[in-house]
């Protein structure tokens, strides 16, 4: 009977492709928009994600995210190192500064100061240059945004000189990091250099990055640090989430994307629902005949389920493929999409949405079929 | 009261006792069948003839197990069909009854052989085997060469022959036909009815045809005439005024 | 039901296959695209508390290596041109060993002058003594004559006067000798002072003087740098700054785990010497010229064990010290 059901469906090409298109379009819209949304939100946590070697971030109690910082006195580093369970801790500086480009333009940058001797805090991968070149005097690394923003297309950034707070800085590498939410240029340098590059305030230490000793969970370490030092400590995942939440709370992005996703869902329901019920109405006599001949409601349900399932499979498969291709190609070719990826949860979420669409429209259509009296075929 | 509790099984192929049926229309209860009693023997081609609204379609629906009577008892080959559960009744129809509809009700997107094989497929037979049997049946109905065509590629007579094949492919004991020739011209209708009579009528099978097509009355073994929910004539010929 | 028994249908066979392949491709793309958020191990880790302190109450601090004598800034007692520098940085000198020489030609000339004066005074003394002897003998001759008429009174008086004068001349000459000797001594002392010597045994840490340069006595201070810095580097000490918030937690007297910046894996145990009585404003250890921090620190002095070349004076170190066991702070006290 399933075979008959599939034939019934695919024989009506217009409606079949209408259904497939409806599901594929909904899938594409929901998946793609959710993915861009999640990735935009993740931009609020790139500073955390870019540092893979620490699991606890310690900051002043009023600091909120990677960019909303109230600096601490430099002794905070020793306070954190004093906490049992801290394997090691390094200072980390994030501050805004203005840089003079080789062309003479002024560009706002985020200066990141990493630990002087170990360079912990530096992103792991480099596009150009090697990590140890940061140990040279006045050495800075720029990120991909900085490569495009500070230098002309054909200019060679390695070896270029910048001016920061009346200090000379020499670009000696390009690091491979995802841009931040504001896409601001990021300059990496050593902590002691960073102090010179950033106009002076009394306290300068933005974060202390700590690593839990073996056997101590980051959560437990956070508790210990907060209890002993009175500073605010967050695990890596929590702090990344803080950055994401900050964007959610302070921008209209969730509403915008929520509306688009809801639209995708509604359009999907509308297209699929209308087409499916048209299809069922066209075939209601055949269904009635089948019921009279002796096909019971369970089999009828299976038939409609098979029809909906086929439409769902094809539409969802094509939609997800298009959405992931879009993100993959976009992420590989565009700076704006750099680092974008499709979280595996989103296709599952879309699957849920598509399933809902199919269940709702299939149920509506099925109700009609089930209510058809077999005796109606004789009238 | 429907049911056969007080009605003994008289051994007839189809036994209808005291069937009445009410319909509700606009808040009024309309009785369309008034205590029909009828026995039909196996091996017969029975016509049910009457004006529109005489109740013949209601009666045949009740006999075919797709419409519950308000009162009375229906036995089909000894089975009290309205004592069966819904599920059992559906199974019973599937295994025991063949249907031929006025509008054929073929599935337009599958070929003739597959359409004819639907009851077997619904019974759970493998699709290929079912289709093969359906082809054999189509051969017997002289349209074996059309087996791979879609219904839309067939003429009305051919479609009806496919529908007959569908009704007979699973060897049902009872075949019910609703106006099988109404949509056909005289010649095609005649040929379809000749074939139906040749192929369908067998010693262990009853065929009941609802029709008012007087061109084919001569094929019947028995003709029942209905008026206003009652059987007014029962014989081998139609009464003269019906002609 | 086998696929493609008859001609494959686009919508029934190909599309579902395309959809399934699409799903597989999408799954692969998603899997490949997932970012790696795993924790990684850094190539090099900073200072970490090890051993017994790894999971025990502890206090961390940063410090600077210094000589056990602290750094001695050497100046010169006398101004002048430097004629020779007798040591090199890193030399280990013993107490009193000459370090550099200031131009002494002038003093040597004065010494010669004084010695000439001594000889001159000695000759004068000899001459005065001879004259005095003659005068004394003359006088005693006159005194021994009993007859007053034999010698006139005036003769006697003149003889007495001669004797007195000649004594005086001798005394003058003797005084001149003493003066000349004193002058010579002074020149000798100055000659010594022109050689700057080591006040203690120790290592020469820095030399900022070269032959031909002019050294100024008694300045020391604001703009100028000391000519030579030295200190006792056997053993080295380390001065560890502890945040005043943490200071009460330190278990005074317990050893410290110390590692130099940049070589966190090479740790040594340092012996407690003393805590400075005074809590002082934190001196910047971050190389920033303009750092102002309103934090005061307790300074602890520890003695470093011998570790060949691992520690050098002025080097920054990270240190971990055991904390007092019961010293658990109230939450939020630092806010």
Per residue in B29-77, pLDDT (tens digit) is 888 888 889 999 888 899 999 888 888 888 999 999 888 899 889 999 9
Within-domain flag for A198: yes
pLDDT tens-place string over residues B158-184: 998 899 999 999 999 999 998 888 878
Q: Which residues of A67-77 are buried (b: 16+ CB within 10 A; e: fewer)?
A: bebebbbbbbb
Do residue A267 and residue A171 come from a single domain?
Answer: no
Q: Is the peptide bond before A359 cis (omega within 30 degrees of 0)?
A: no
pLDDT for residue B129 is more than 90: yes
Do residue A213 and residue A290 come from a single domain?
Answer: no
Instruction: Examine the fold and report which residue of A230, A261, A279 is the final residue of a domain before the chain moves on.
Output: A230
* CA C149/CA A66 separation, integer angstroms: 127
pLDDT for residue A256 is more than 50: yes
Predicted local distance difference test score (pLDDT) of residue C144? 83
Predicted local distance difference test score (pLDDT) of residue B133? 92
Provide the percentage of residues in chain C whose pLDDT is more than 90.
Answer: 22
Predicted local distance difference test score (pLDDT) of residue C335? 37
- Contact criterion met (CB below 8 Å) for A145 and A186: yes
Quick check: C59 contacting A, CB < 8 Å?
yes
Written in H, E and C, the secondary structure of chain B is CECCCCCCCCCCCEEEEEEEEEEEECCEEEEEEEEEEEEECCCCEEEEEECCCCCHHHHHHHHCCCCCCCEEEEEECCEEHHHCCHHHHHHHHHHHEEEECCCCCCCCCCCHHHHHCHHHHHHCCCHHHHHHHHHHHHHHCCCHHHCCCCHHHCCHHHHHHHHHHHHHCCCCCEEEEECCCCCCCHHHHHHHHHHHHHHHCECCEEEEEEECCHHHHHHCCEEEEEECCEEEEEECCCCHHHC
Do residue A315 and residue A195 come from a single domain?
Answer: no
What DSSP designation does C45 have? Answer: -
Provide the percentage of residues in chain B whose pLDDT is more than 70.
Answer: 98
Mutate to test the interface with C, among A48, A117, A197 (most CBs of C within 10 A): A117
Predicted local distance difference test score (pLDDT) of residue C243? 84
Interface size A-B, in CB pairs within 8 Å, comes to 85
Mutate to test the interface with A, among B90, B168, B169 (most CBs of A within 10 A): B90
pLDDT for residue A171 is more than 80: yes
Minimal CA separation from C236 to chain A, in Å: 23
Predicted local distance difference test score (pLDDT) of residue B178? 87
**pLDDT, averaged across chain C:** 83
Domain ranges of chain B: 14-242
Do residue A77 and residue A224 come from a single domain?
Answer: yes
Average pLDDT of span B119-144: 91
Predicted local distance difference test score (pLDDT) of residue B114? 92
Predicted local distance difference test score (pLDDT) of residue C63? 87
Query: A370 falls in which pLDDT band (50, 70, 90)?
Result: confident
Predicted local distance difference test score (pLDDT) of residue B52? 82
pLDDT for residue B28 is more than 80: yes
Query: Quick one: which of C155, C160, C169 has its CA closest to C135?
Result: C160
pLDDT tens-place string over residues A61-74: 999 888 888 988 88
Predicted local distance difference test score (pLDDT) of residue A165? 82
* CA B95/CA B85 separation, integer angstroms: 15
Do residue A12 and residue A81 come from a single domain?
Answer: no
pLDDT for residue C253 is more than 60: yes
CA nearest to C292 within chain A: A202
Task: List all residues 6 or more positions away from C218 whose beta carbon is below 8 Å from its beta carbon.
Answer: C75, C77
Which of residues 175 through 214 in chain C touch A, CB cutoff 8 A?
none
Do residue A37 and residue A106 come from a single domain?
Answer: no
* CA C130/CA A100 separation, integer angstroms: 95
Within-domain flag for A240: no
Do residue A81 and residue A225 come from a single domain?
Answer: yes
Minimal CA separation from B206 to chain A, in Å: 17
The torsion of the CA quartet C123, C125, C126, C130, rounded to 10 degrees, works out to 140
* CA A209/CA A363 separation, integer angstroms: 55
Minimal CA separation from C29 to chain A, in Å: 7
CB contact under 8 A, C60 and A78: yes
Predicted local distance difference test score (pLDDT) of residue B240? 65
Predicted local distance difference test score (pLDDT) of residue C56? 78
Interface size A-C, in CB pairs within 8 Å, comes to 203
Predicted local distance difference test score (pLDDT) of residue C326? 57
pLDDT for residue A317 is more than 90: yes
pLDDT for residue C318 is more than 60: yes
* CA C63/CA C315 separation, integer angstroms: 8
Which CATH class name applies to B14-242? alpha beta
Predicted local distance difference test score (pLDDT) of residue C333? 42
Within-domain flag for A52: no
Minimal CA separation from B28 to chain A, in Å: 21
Predicted local distance difference test score (pLDDT) of residue A235? 93
Q: C77-102+195-226, what's its fold?
A: OB fold (Dihydrolipoamide Acetyltransferase, E2P) (2.40.50)
Average pLDDT of span B6-33: 86
Within-domain flag for A195: yes
Q: Do strands B174-178 and B97-100 pair parallel, antiparallel, or not at all (unpaired)?
A: parallel
pLDDT for residue C332 is more than 60: no
Minimal CA separation from A285 to chain B, in Å: 7
CB contact under 8 A, A328 and C290: no
* CA C288/CA C5 separation, integer angstroms: 80
Write down which chains contact chain C via at least 3 CB pairs under 8 A: A
Predicted local distance difference test score (pLDDT) of residue C287? 46
Do residue A84 and residue A225 come from a single domain?
Answer: yes
Predicted local distance difference test score (pLDDT) of residue A100? 83
pLDDT for residue C77 is more than 90: no
**Angle (deg, nearest 10), helices A284-293 and A345-371:** 70
- Which stretch of A340-349, B232-241, C193-202 has the lowest confidence by average pLDDT? B232-241
Do residue A276 and residue A327 come from a single domain?
Answer: yes
pLDDT tens-place string over residues C268-293: 889 999 998 888 877 654 444 454 55
Which of residues 44 through 83 in chain B touch A, CB cutoff 8 A?
57, 60-61, 64, 66-67
Q: What are phi and psi of C297, to 5 degrees?
A: -130, 150
Predicted local distance difference test score (pLDDT) of residue B195? 85
Predicted local distance difference test score (pLDDT) of residue C224? 64
**pLDDT, averaged across chain A:** 87
Residues of B in contact with A7 (CB under 8 A): 107, 109-110, 114
- Contact criterion met (CB below 8 Å) for A170 and A160: yes
pLDDT tens-place string over residues C105-140: 988 999 999 999 999 989 988 988 898 888 888 888
CA-only gyration radius of chain B, Å: 18
Query: B113 falls in which pLDDT band (50, 70, 90)?
Result: very high
> Which residue of B66, B110, B210 is in closest CB contact with A4?
B110
CB contact under 8 A, A294 and B121: no
Residues of A in contact with C267 (CB under 8 A): none
Residues of C in contact with A205 (CB under 8 A): none
- Which stretch of A311-320, C98-107, C325-334 has the lowest confidence by average pLDDT? C325-334
Predicted local distance difference test score (pLDDT) of residue B94? 92
**pLDDT, averaged across chain B:** 87
Question: Which residue did the predictor score with more confidence, C6 or A137?
Answer: A137
Average pLDDT of span B175-201: 85
CA nearest to B150 within chain A: A11
Query: A297 falls in which pLDDT band (50, 70, 90)?
Result: confident
CB contact under 8 A, C22 and A87: no
Do residue A89 and residue A225 come from a single domain?
Answer: yes
Residues of A in contact with C39 (CB under 8 A): 52-53, 55, 236
pLDDT for residue A240 is more than 80: yes
pLDDT for residue C327 is more than 50: no
Residue C256: both structure tokens together: 């410290």
Average pLDDT of span A112-135: 88
Which CATH class name applies to C51-68+235-322? mainly beta
Within-domain flag for A244: no
pLDDT tens-place string over residues A42-60: 888 888 888 888 889 999 9
pLDDT tens-place string over residues C151-177: 788 888 888 888 888 888 889 889 999
Query: C1 falls in which pLDDT band (50, 70, 90)?
Result: very low
Count of structural domains, chain A:
2
Provide the percentage of residues in chain B whose pLDDT is more than 90.
Answer: 29
Question: Which residue did the predictor score with more confidence, C224 or A167?
Answer: A167
Q: Do strands B45-50 and B222-227 pair parallel, antiparallel, or not at all (unpaired)?
A: parallel
Query: B242 falls in which pLDDT band (50, 70, 90)?
Result: low
> Which residue of B87, B105, B119 is in closest CB contact with A286?
B105
Query: C2 falls in which pLDDT band (50, 70, 90)?
Result: very low
List Cα–Cα distances, A187 to A122, A184, A207, in angstroms: 10, 10, 17
CA nearest to A6 within chain B: B109
Q: Which residues of C205-220 are buried (b: 16+ CB within 10 A; e: fewer)?
A: bbbebeeeeebeeeee
Place of tokens 């200071």: C247
Minimal CA separation from C273 to chain A, in Å: 21
Q: State which residues form the domain around A201.
A: 73-230
């Amino acid at each position: 009977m399933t075979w008959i059901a599939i034939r019934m469906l695919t024989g009506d090409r217009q409606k079949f492709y209408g259904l497939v298109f409806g599901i594929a379009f909904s899938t594409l819209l929901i998946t793609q928009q959710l993915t861009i949304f999640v990735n935009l939100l993740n931009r609020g946590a790139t500073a955390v994600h870019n540092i893979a070697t620490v699991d606890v971030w310690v900051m002043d109690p009023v600091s909120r995210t990677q960019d909303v910082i109230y600096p601490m006195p430099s002794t905070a580093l020793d306070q954190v190192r004093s906490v049992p369970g801290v394997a090691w801790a390094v200072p980390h500086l994030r501050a805004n500064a203005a840089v003079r480009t080789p062309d003479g333009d002024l560009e706002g940058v985020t200066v990141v100061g990493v630990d002087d001797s170990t360079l912990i805090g530096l992103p792991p991968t480099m596009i150009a240059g090697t990590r140890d070149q940061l140990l040279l005097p006045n050495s800075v690394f720029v990120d991909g945004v900085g490569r495009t923003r500070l230098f002309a297309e054909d200019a060679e950034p390695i070896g270029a000189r910048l001016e920061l707070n009346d200090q000379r800085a020499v670009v000696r590498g390009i690091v491979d990091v995802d841009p931040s939410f504001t896409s601001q240029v990021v300059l990496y340098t050593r902590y002691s250099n960073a102090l010179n590059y950033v106009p002076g305030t009394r306290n300068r230490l933005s974060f202390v990055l700590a690593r839990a000793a073996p056997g101590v969970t980051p959560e437990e370490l956070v508790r210990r640090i907060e209890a002993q030092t009175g500073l605010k400590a967050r695990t890596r995942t929590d702090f990344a989430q803080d950055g994401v939440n900050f964007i959610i709370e302070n921008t209209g992005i969730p509403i915008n994307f929520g509306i688009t996703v809801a639209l995708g869902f509604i359009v999907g329901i509308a297209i699929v629902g209308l087409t499916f019920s048209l299809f069922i109405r066209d075939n209601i006599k055949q269904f009635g005949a089948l019921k009279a001949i002796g096909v019971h409601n369970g089999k009828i349900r299976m038939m409609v389920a098979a029809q909906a399932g086929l439409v769902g499979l094809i539409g969802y498969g094509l939609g997800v493929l298009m959405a992931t291709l879009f993100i993959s190609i976009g992420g590989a070719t565009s700076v704006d999409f750099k680092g974008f990826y499709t979280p595996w949860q989103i296709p599952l979420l879309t699957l849920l949405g598509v399933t809902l669409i199919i269940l709702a429209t299939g149920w509506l259509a099925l109700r009609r079929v089930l209510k058809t009296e077999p005796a109606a075929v004789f009238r | 009261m429907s049911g056969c509790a007080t009605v003994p099984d008289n051994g007839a192929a189809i036994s209808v006792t005291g069937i009445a049926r009410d319909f509700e229309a606009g808040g009024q209860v309309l009785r369309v069948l008034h205590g029909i009693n009828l026995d039909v023997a196996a091996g017969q081609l029975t016509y049910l003839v009457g004006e529109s609204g005489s109740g013949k379609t209601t009666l045949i629906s009740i006999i075919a197990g797709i419409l519950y009577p308000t009162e009375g008892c229906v036995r089909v080959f000894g089975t009290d069909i309205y004592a069966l559960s819904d599920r059992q009744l559906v199974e019973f129809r599937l295994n025991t009854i063949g249907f031929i509809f006025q509008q054929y009700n073929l599935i337009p997107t599958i070929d003739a052989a597959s359409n004819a094989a639907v009851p077997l497929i619904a019974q759970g037979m493998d699709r290929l085997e079912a289709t093969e049997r359906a082809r054999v049946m189509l051969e017997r109905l002289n349209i074996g060469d059309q087996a791979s065509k879609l219904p839309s590629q067939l003429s009305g007579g051919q479609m009806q022959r496919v529908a007959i094949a569908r009704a007979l492919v699973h060897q049902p004991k009872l075949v019910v036909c609703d106006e099988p020739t109404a949509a056909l011209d005289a010649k095609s209708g005649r040929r379809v009815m000749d074939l139906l009579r040749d192929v369908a009528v067998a010693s262990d099978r009853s065929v009941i045809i609802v029709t008012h097509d007087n061109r084919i009355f001569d094929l019947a073994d028995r003709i029942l005439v209905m008026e206003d929910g009652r059987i007014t004539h029962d014989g081998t010929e139609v009464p003269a005024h019906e002609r | 039901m086998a696929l493609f028994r008859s001609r494959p249908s686009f919508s029934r066979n190909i599309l579902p296959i395309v959809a399934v392949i699409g799903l597989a491709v999408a799954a692969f793309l998603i899997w490949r695209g997932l970012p790696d958020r795993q924790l990684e191990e850094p190539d090099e880790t900073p200072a970490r508390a090890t051993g017994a302190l790894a999971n025990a109450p502890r206090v961390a601090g940063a410090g600077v290596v210094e000589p056990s004598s602290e750094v001695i800034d050497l100046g010169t007692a006398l101004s002048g041109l430097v004629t020779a520098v007798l040591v090199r940085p890193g030399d280990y000198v013993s107490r009193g060993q000459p370090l550099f020489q200031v131009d002494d030609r002038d003093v040597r000339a004065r010494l010669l002058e004084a010695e000439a004066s001594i000889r001159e005074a000695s000759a004068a003394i000899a001459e005065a003594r001879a004259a005095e002897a003659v005068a004394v003998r003359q006088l005693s001759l006159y005194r021994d004559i009993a007859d007053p008429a034999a010698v006139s009174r005036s003769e006697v008086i003149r003889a007495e006067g001669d004797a007195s004068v000649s004594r005086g001349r001798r005394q003058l000459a003797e005084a001149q000798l003493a003066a000349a000797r004193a002058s010579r001594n002074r020149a000798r002392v100055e000659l010594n002072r022109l050689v700057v010597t080591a006040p203690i045994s120790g290592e020469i840490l820095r030399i900022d003087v070269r032959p031909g340069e002019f050294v100024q006595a008694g300045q020391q201070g604001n703009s100028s740098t000391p000519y030579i810095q030295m200190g006792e580097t056997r053993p080295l000490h380390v001065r560890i700054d502890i945040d005043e918030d943490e200071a009460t937690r330190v278990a005074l007297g317990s050893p410290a785990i110390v590692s130099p910046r940049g070589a966190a894996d090479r740790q040594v145990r340092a012996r407690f010497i003393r805590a400075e009585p005074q809590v002082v404003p934190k001196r910047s250890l971050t190389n920033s010229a303009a750092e102002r921090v309103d934090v005061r620190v307790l300074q602890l002095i520890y003695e470093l064990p011998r570790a060949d070349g691992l520690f050098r004076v002025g080097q920054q170190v990270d240190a971990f010290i055991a904390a007092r066991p019961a010293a658990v702070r109230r939450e939020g006290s630092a806010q």
